[in-house]
Structure 1
């Protein structure tokens, strides 16, 4: 069923597309971001950062800087150590295949003894103004003895390479594996043919439109700390920072994440600046504010991707997949960021089955420390890496077998009647129909008419190509018990508190956080649909640990599937209580009360009470079942999912390559995704558009490049190429939905599908365009210079023509 045609109960309910509520303030310049907050008497922090990738800190002379105008205080790693402040913790533990735990070096708030990447903070300067703090930070005399650095994984694992951390031998954090090696070896022993590929998943800088910022505040009278921060999960920051870094009891620590201008994963993690300003505010007894500048964000925000992978696929004579063998090296950077160990392992290798019935899979992942910015989850987090590998390998397999690209996929799809489907790599998929998304996407993209378009391009001297990606991903990491067994150091449930006011309007407090996804609209639709109240009478509150019972935030496309399910459970409690009140008022049995379209009705009669009447009765309980119920209409629910959710789909891209310049031009892009239930089609379109744009950026343009000394060469928007409007094309979006079977909404998640499905579709199209040049693979990004070099180094079969 196409969810665009779903019926809805009320205007602004499920399936409708009301305009985003939050856009009224964003488009009128009334958003309230962290940098918009100014506390009375605040001072400003600037961090002095290492300009070498690796070195011993010999001394930091702050004498002259302390005497400069406006300087309030200067703190170094030595001050942090004396205060007994802990290091920034990692939120996920991985064990190597020999059973040993990962190497987990301390990550101090300010560098102590050594610096390990360009951008490592060695001191924090606090002054009356930002400019004064900058001047004093420059005046610090920082004496660092440079040490040899390693900036790429191959160099880091070479014999005799410099060690980033002394206890990480060979710079290896862990050497992990999953799957059945013997079964895979047996599959390869009987293979008719073997397809092989080596791929690089290029390193990316997230670059949300709003740089990170943090304000620490301290109330001496109450001993309460407040942190305002650009975070996707304020409760997690409170837990990690309070318990493990600053040792502040949670009731004395409030974390507020106001409007957040994009995150893409980069604002999930607990960063050193958050702990530093929170601690410093108590030391100087005044608020301390830090706002990251764009050039600073390039060397402080966690980077994404950066995997090198070799993969082999064993094939039967009829093209059936027999076994898959994968070896990956994953760059973790200089320190373990919050969720970094989970990305190349449980968020990546467990998806190696993809949409296919491969019976045997074995994967090894070696995680490497380098003298670079820490690497962590970036939109898709592990699933784009696996999807790119699989979908490139399937195209190579088709060529190896002499089969059509579509036919080999159809030959190996998991059929709809095979669900629930147990994969060989831990996960069990609950639902899907890959043939439906493929067929719909091919129809919308006019796949069958492509050869005529290729011929037309050839007449103009252009090379035209088409590529597809059929993918599946995992969202809503859960349940907590399973996630804990896999190494998560926190529960992964979600919380909702629904408060119905006496007049029937509703305030929802949710533990998820919105940073562009439109939660204030989608969640209001969900509540309005369930309760039958006007959409405009639902208020959404998030981002403040003093208002929300708890919550795990927003990442992994979990907000609707997990957070929305918690909302459903809380609203169900509201309705259940409302039925008891209605039964009392209408002198009926609770079992006879029905609730629909905002009315409580006695079954088989015309006796009814509107939702607003029940709400008022709950707060003005003159005629009320006091012996059974407390007054009020306010309910909280926790939801811990039974399984991951598994969105999937098909993306098709069409490109044209100019052989004279190597420029790749996008011509068409079509995405048909199975995301389960669609609440707001307009927001779904927007999420897919944004994700596809980021995927196109990775495929064609973006690459964070370090030199051998560990200097980031692409450290500004002059050198790091982000996609612009003229790099993109109109994106055709459709849905073919199968419902999630284990949450009350049937929702699967949409936030990351665009970034997951699009990169291999783009590169498959580029390779197809270059087919007459003998090209079988192009690593991302497929820049004009790279494509031009490939064309000029090749000998096309058509050259004589």
Structure 2
């Protein structure tokens, strides 16, 4: 094994060859013999009763095989799409959990809700026939704004007449109230964390197959966790025997959280395949994705920060209304609670925090995890109110952060919101970021911008996130309905090559490269002889998929445990081959040596002996070199860092241009610096997108999504972002042997707060809500001009 390919090396991604040459295999590329096509008819109304569905004309159309409705699914006992996390309200009652049928049977509850499915020989035939479907609706008032649902006078679900899913609290209220009682200064802020539409490169797609001879099912789907989809499909929605179901997630063109969940379409194609005994394929159109993929964020928050005379934080109070949309998606209930309120300490030693979170139903697309999942929402409110506090107190924003950082000598640190940070040097990250951005030179740059009639601002975000989702028993106590471990199998072949089967899934993260780097370093096998297998429930051990930057911290640790088992067995085989004691065998990569001698054997020879056991300790060991392991983490991991953004605003047009951006991150041990840098860049762009461009907007009266295409919903482009200056500080995680913390979401965690802090600084205002679009910025400047003139 060369050090140029091991841990810490910037190895080019091995999977990129097939992507760059057009040889990737995506779900929509799959064409099965006898395949037919599904077209989903979606509700044009935000809220309506389904009075009748006349399918006669549709069934008579050319090529149509069948039309499926919610009534068909109810008759066949198809179950509700489940939510994987149970949250209890402050009074101890469980959250309201209304049914979510894969096809609506009685009412539609958002524009885009599934009403019927037309299946035909070709997709065009299905689309044409869908035009003939006669559906009679009784339109009902729509509830859209999360801030007014309790007084809306209409209920999304009968089970929740006030539209409240749960009313949850976290932290010590009495201690927090006492902190505020002794405060010298209190800063308050009301803010909106805007609703976002995830837009992966590849829209969702699914192919369902049924083999009546074997009574077996195969679902090919764009998913971040195929094993979990199989579990939910079998245990909840369709009630199938798990050993009869295979779920495959081939190459997936991006996910960002939106492909974690068990979606209605996955049930639909499997159900239809069973009824027709033919493969059934569905692929979303981009406009359909806006109406069917789970959205992100959508919080209304009031936050208060109590401080002493020196600006030291004493306490924080947070009240958030979180929009769940029309239904509970797979992980939706834990995003504004367990993954949000537990991060409200940020990087600061705030001794008392209390949070109240009210989750509400509206007639909008369901809301679930989107890159960061609760952590960006927490970071945004913390870093915004810290900036506002610094402005009110007249303290430099970097200095206020320094005063309140948790120092390294306090690690491990128990926060007042239930987490224990294991490691980190927050002050060093800030100082390094200040140096990268040349903070001392900022006043001169601001003055130069002013000579050109531009306003220049600088913004900070010191973020921390909880990744590598943590111990199953702890998560279970907090409401998780599944374990949060992962698994891996390391299998040597007789000729010395290695297959590694992992329970996590790669959809852009580069697992086929980074996992192979670890295997190569630990076992001394050249990377070209290592295969990383993922995404197929028939080939991989049960795992919980990829999200929350858990791949290396959990899946990688399962792989490490399996590697350790391989090494332990290899030492015993080597001892036999070298006629020595196993205790005397030392391992260095792929070489096993008798300590203090030149007698050695390599891993390839050991693998050969294991599979051709003519000279092998059969009385002690089974043949073969194939080990499996599960790993349940002891704690979250805590990536952290500081991002600093510099913007220039044109007062005449309101256009915000990002001119500099520096990010210093602590990801623990970095396996592949090149891949990590790419992940940081991608995350930063998504944070910038929310800050400046993206906002999903519904019409308050009709519940229509007004930003339902790229004509209305602005995504960041190359000319919207600068060249990023990035640096990593490796402070190893102390709770896993790899020392890794995770990097996939870091850019997004702090990105929006960082940019908005810079915009507010440039405009010389306390706060404005995202996105800082040219029109919004221009209006803020216009409204401030009379006051400025009066002064």
Same fold by TM-score greater than 0.5 = yes
1:114 to 2:104 alignment:
no
The TM-score with structure 1 as length reference comes to 0.98
Q: How far 1:229 moved relative to its partner?
A: 0.1
Kindly indicate whether the alpha-carbon contact (under 8 Å) linking 1:10 and 1:528 is maintained by their aligned counterparts in 2: no
> Paired residue for 1:202?
194
> Paired residue for 2:609?
617
> Which residues in structure 2 correspond to 1:148-547 (within 5 Å)?
148-158=141-151, 160-547=152-539
CA distance in 2, matches of 1:15, 1:711: 49
CA distance in 2, matches of 1:405, 1:50: 49
> Paired residue for 1:674?
666
CA distance in 1, matches of 2:681, 2:295: 22
Aligned residue for 1:758, secondary structure, equals: helix
1:135 to 128, 133, 152: 128
CA RMSD of aligned residues (A): 1.0
1:73 to 2:59 alignment:
no
1:765 to 2:786 alignment:
no
Q: How far 1:161 moved relative to its partner?
A: 2.2
CA distance in 2, matches of 1:588, 1:138: 78
CA distance in 2, matches of 1:457, 1:728: 19
Between 247-256 and 499-508, the greater mean CA deviation after superposition: 499-508
CA distance in 1, matches of 2:131, 2:679: 42
Kindly indicate whether the alpha-carbon contact (under 8 Å) linking 2:147 and 2:300 is maintained by their aligned counterparts in 1: no
Aligned residue for 1:672, secondary structure, equals: strand
Between 372-381 and 729-738, the greater mean CA deviation after superposition: 729-738
1:48 to 2:46 alignment:
no
CA distance in 2, matches of 1:343, 1:137: 36
Q: How far 1:799 moved relative to its partner?
A: 5.1
Aligned residue for 2:458, secondary structure, equals: strand
Aligned residue for 2:292, secondary structure, equals: coil
CA distance in 2, matches of 1:769, 1:679: 38
CA distance in 1, matches of 2:543, 2:348: 35
CA distance in 1, matches of 2:96, 2:439: 49
CA distance in 2, matches of 1:448, 1:492: 45
2:781 to 788, 791, 795: 791
1:778 to 2:789 alignment:
no
Q: How far 1:477 moved relative to its partner?
A: 1.1
Q: How far 1:169 moved relative to its partner?
A: 2.8
CA distance in 1, matches of 2:464, 2:787: 36
Aligned residue for 1:226, secondary structure, equals: strand
> Paired residue for 2:56?
63
CA distance in 2, matches of 1:470, 1:352: 12
CA distance in 2, matches of 1:352, 1:503: 52
Q: How far 1:795 moved relative to its partner?
A: 3.0
CA distance in 2, matches of 1:736, 1:549: 34
Aligned residue for 1:231, secondary structure, equals: coil
1:564 to 2:556 alignment:
yes
Kindly indicate whether the alpha-carbon contact (under 8 Å) linking 1:206 and 1:378 is maintained by their aligned counterparts in 2: yes
Q: How many residues align?
A: 790
CA distance in 1, matches of 2:2, 2:670: 14
Kindly indicate whether the alpha-carbon contact (under 8 Å) linking 1:229 and 1:274 is maintained by their aligned counterparts in 2: yes
1:31 to 2:21 alignment:
no
Aligned residue for 2:228, secondary structure, equals: helix
Could you report, residue by residue, the CA deviation over 1:440-465 in whole angstroms, capped at 9, with x for unpaired residues?
Answer: 11111111111110011000000000
Aligned residue for 2:147, secondary structure, equals: helix
1:82 to 2:72 alignment:
no
Q: How far 1:370 moved relative to its partner?
A: 0.1
Structure 2 gaps, min length 5: none
> Paired residue for 2:685?
693
The TM-score with structure 2 as length reference comes to 0.99
Q: How far 1:9 moved relative to its partner?
A: 5.9
Kindly indicate whether the alpha-carbon contact (under 8 Å) linking 1:94 and 1:101 is maintained by their aligned counterparts in 2: yes
CA distance in 1, matches of 2:763, 2:470: 42
Aligned residue for 2:17, secondary structure, equals: helix
CA distance in 2, matches of 1:455, 1:558: 45
Q: How far 1:401 moved relative to its partner?
A: 1.6
CA distance in 2, matches of 1:57, 1:576: 63
Q: How far 1:484 moved relative to its partner?
A: 0.7
> Paired residue for 2:713?
720
> Paired residue for 1:4?
none
Q: How far 1:797 moved relative to its partner?
A: 7.8
1:705 to 663, 674, 697: 697
